[in-house]
Structure 1
Amino acid sequence: MFTGLKLTNFKAWQDTGIVNLKPVTMLLGTNSSGKSTLIQSLLLLKQTVRSPDRSIHLNLGGDEVNDLFNFGEFDDVLHQGFVGDRQFSLSFTFLSPESSRIDNGTFFCSYGQNSAGGVAIQEWRVGTNEQQFKSIRREKGAYSLTVDKEIQPRAKGRHICPERSVSLSAEAIVALGQDGAVLEDLSLAIRRELENIIYLGPLRRKPERDYVWNKSNPGEMGSDGHRAIDVLLASALIKGDDQNRIIEGVSKWLVRMKVADKLEVKQVGRSTRYELVVHRDGVEANLRDVGIGISQVLPVLTIAYFAPSGSTIILEEPEIHLHPLAQSVLAELFVEVSKERNVQFIVESHSEHLFRRMQTLIARQSIKPQDAAMYFVEREGSVARLRSLELDDFGRVQNWPESFFGDALGETREQARLMFTRQQESQA
């Protein structure tokens, strides 16, 4: 689980400060304020560790099939009002699962440009509570490697350059002697933490009328949720102890949202094609024939049960096309599934209903304030600012940003005033 994040000179952010991440973290804010950039920073590192090129420093994207985002060039990422050198940095902290040899870890990397205009790591630091490793770029692309507070480097040269931002070469590991095994375990833990990110974006595919199932369980759902149906088909059709677990979990939440009574997979005649059928009030309908809200929330519900234990699920606008009650129930989904399945949710949203229900869940003690983090992102000119919303034990916000969700009481007062004025005019 990610426990902290910090960006400097990265796109809209001059300096985020330390962003504490919890089992359920919500990001609120105005359009184009910088919320998505916080999410994209982790996805940038994820697509870097997945790159087939071991020597790459940072994969800014461009491969439409394999990359999550295309960040453009170095100057597109560098904050326009950068402070100091032409560098930006990404750092995070994390807790590893009990099965890992590493309990917790830290990652820091700053990036500049090389002579060819490409991205080059300037300083790389990773560590645990017990040990710290540092690789710094020197002249002509050579790096020096130190451990803890040692003054003399353990090794120097081009071969000390970090690979894919998260690990060092075999030669560098050998140069560390007995400490090399610690760094290998730490690099593996960092890589796994990034690989365990599952991302669902705000734009999701519309459903088809029926689907061909290839008799396998997909390894991922896609950032637009296009493999969610494959996951549901596999859940219903693959025999075993896990059969129907995901589709039953999805059905449960559709019921709680009051948008369906059940979701069912049905074979189309005797063909190899299958359809998703939505049951509601005694009526069966193909997924294609029901409101768009159900098809758009299906990937959100599916990913909550599809993600392996220990994953970090990043969601952008999960509430899209949902009515207010269903938006509220999403907060309950995040809280309950996070506890039941040991997954972390980082959610970017504009939904007042989702946020208000999170406040209620804190007041009910369904989730402790220390297990939930709420942030409001706003712009001051070209610079993004982050406000940590302070919630008490009753879910009340102590430092609420003015007018973000509108002025509900003010609207009510204005309506009452107009009603009173009209009544007086009609009696005159």
Structure 2
Amino acid sequence: MIDEIEITNFRSLKNVRIELKPITVIYGENSSGKSSLFYSLLVARNVLNNPNQPQANFFNLRFLNLGGFDQVVFDHSTEKTIGIGVHGSTSLGRMKYEVSLKREGGSFHIKVGDVDSKIDVTFPYQLNVRKEISIGNLKLSWNGVNFEHIGEVKEEQVKLIEELNSFLEEIRSIDIAPIIRGFTKPIFSKATPGPYPITEDEIANEIVSGGGYLEGKVHSYFRKIFGKSFRSFTPPGSTNFYLRVMEEDNAVAVDLVNEGFGENQVIYILAKLLRSGTKTLLIEEPEIHLNPNTQREFVRVLHEMVKKEGKRVMISTHSEAFVSSILHKVATKKISPKEVVFYLCEKKGKETAFRKQEVNEMGQIKGGLIHFMRKEIEEMEELILGPKGKE
């Protein structure tokens, strides 16, 4: 499983390496580089998912187009190389996989134990380059995006190949709930959702596809947060459908678009996280339009989903209530310190740094949350003592 990510020369991320846990929380000031970390992973996913396209397409995240290489590379230094790498443990030893992008072309780099191999390519890349590598007595062929065995292979060796490919699948299974999300209309037309649904129509169709399995999961967790039911409704003989919410003590269903936006955007997040194609969800500011009490319920349910559904989340937030709620769950032994990691994101000049915040079993962060809460503390001090209270 992937447990670290390493980014070089991507926007303001000159050289960043961070540890991942089931819940990874990143906080910091505006424009400090939090989103850049998320977007870099999506670029790597785009490359790995379909390298046979122009390089500029990798930077089109659909909800946001970052431009091209010249716009994205650190300090717009076009002679530099963008690197997006992941690290993790396998039964064969530590493994590193990295996608590199240059102004012209790029490369795929794999390192497993003592084996180190690199494939240089140009884009569009038609997967027509193959290298042979040997790991122990296992002979493999790889083209940058998948592994195949050479010659006869034993059953235990098949499992090793599957393990190597599953490492790459973890990158392909990264998705995002972007800051711009939610549903803006009451009615939707049925269509087949793609591999990475992002628009409201795609997410709505993802919810109602698959015989109601995802819809049932979304309903179950939504009810735990808000105490309400969530259901789709398709009029008889129609190909259109509605997404609706109903109070537990009220038989009248209301179109989701006419409910509060906090509920609206949470449905979007739940659908994204619970869909079978997602293993890691990047969530931008989950606290949007949620009052502090609801944020606490959301944290509780989010942790439940991570554990029960085998998911992982990376969260960027500006909410003290959201962060404090996670720390409270640690202090009350409902979340283990081993399940969560915090990073303070700071930008100094052109470069972003991620400072790991150590959390103990009492839910305390070493050094406190002073960087996160500085202005609020100053305002509360003036409110209690008066503007001249500090003199």
Q: Same fold (TM over 0.5)?
A: yes
Q: Distance in 1 between matches of 2:6 and 2:363?
A: 26
Q: Distance in 2 between matches of 1:109 and 1:52?
A: 11
What secondary structure, in the 3-state scheme, does the structure 2 residue paired with 1:347 have? strand
- The answer as to whether partners of 2:5 and 2:19 remain within 8 angstroms in 1 is yes
**1:395 positional shift:** 1.0
Moved more, 339-348 or 327-336: 327-336
What secondary structure, in the 3-state scheme, does the structure 2 residue paired with 1:321 have? coil
Q: Distance in 1 between matches of 2:237 and 2:95?
A: 53
**Gap change, CA 1:221 and 1:181, over 3 Å in 2:** closer
Please state if 1:230 is matched with 2:225.
no
Counterpart in the other structure of 2:83: 89
**1:349 positional shift:** 1.9
Please state if 1:105 is matched with 2:95.
yes
- The answer as to whether partners of 1:62 and 1:70 remain within 8 angstroms in 2 is no
**Gap change, CA 1:366 and 1:307, over 3 Å in 2:** farther
Q: Distance in 2 between matches of 1:234 and 1:125?
A: 37
In the alignment, which of 264, 271, 286 is matched to residue 238 of structure 2? Answer: 271
**1:320 positional shift:** 2.0
In the alignment, which of 101, 110, 115 is matched to residue 132 of structure 1? Answer: 115
In the alignment, which of 254, 260, 273 is matched to residue 285 of structure 1? Answer: 254
- The answer as to whether partners of 2:2 and 2:167 remain within 8 angstroms in 1 is no
- The answer as to whether partners of 2:225 and 2:301 remain within 8 angstroms in 1 is no
Q: How does 1:243-254 map to 2 (within 5 A)?
A: 243=212, 245-254=213-222
Q: Distance in 2 between matches of 1:257 and 1:127?
A: 43
Counterpart in the other structure of 1:300: 269
* Percent of aligned pairs with the same amino acid: 20
Q: Which amino acid aligns with 1:72?
A: G
Q: How does 1:183-222 map to 2 (within 5 A)?
A: 188-213=165-190, 218=193, 220=195, 222=197
**1:270 positional shift:** 5.1
**1:166 positional shift:** 3.4
What secondary structure, in the 3-state scheme, does the structure 2 residue paired with 1:257 have? helix
Q: How does 1:18-417 map to 2 (within 5 A)?
A: 18-51=17-50, 53=52, 59-61=55-57, 70-80=65-75, 86-95=80-89, 105-113=95-103, 118-121=104-107, 124-129=108-113, 131-135=114-118, 163=143, 165-166=144-145, 188-213=165-190, 218=193, 220=195, 222-234=197-209, 238=211, 243=212, 245-258=213-226, 260-268=227-235, 271-280=238-247, 281-282=249-250, 283-308=252-277, 311-400=279-368, 402-417=370-385
What secondary structure, in the 3-state scheme, does the structure 1 residue paired with 2:74 have? coil
More strand by share: 2
**TM-score of the superposed pair, with normalisation by structure 2:** 0.80
Contiguous gaps of at least 5 residues in structure 2: 122-128
Q: Which amino acid aligns with 1:295?
A: N
- The answer as to whether partners of 1:228 and 1:302 remain within 8 angstroms in 2 is yes
What secondary structure, in the 3-state scheme, does the structure 2 residue paired with 1:373 have? strand
Contiguous gaps of at least 5 residues in structure 1: 155-159, 422-428
Q: Distance in 2 between matches of 1:2 and 1:221?
A: 20
**TM-score of the superposed pair, with normalisation by structure 1:** 0.74
**1:419 positional shift:** 11
Larger radius of gyration: 1
**1:257 positional shift:** 3.2
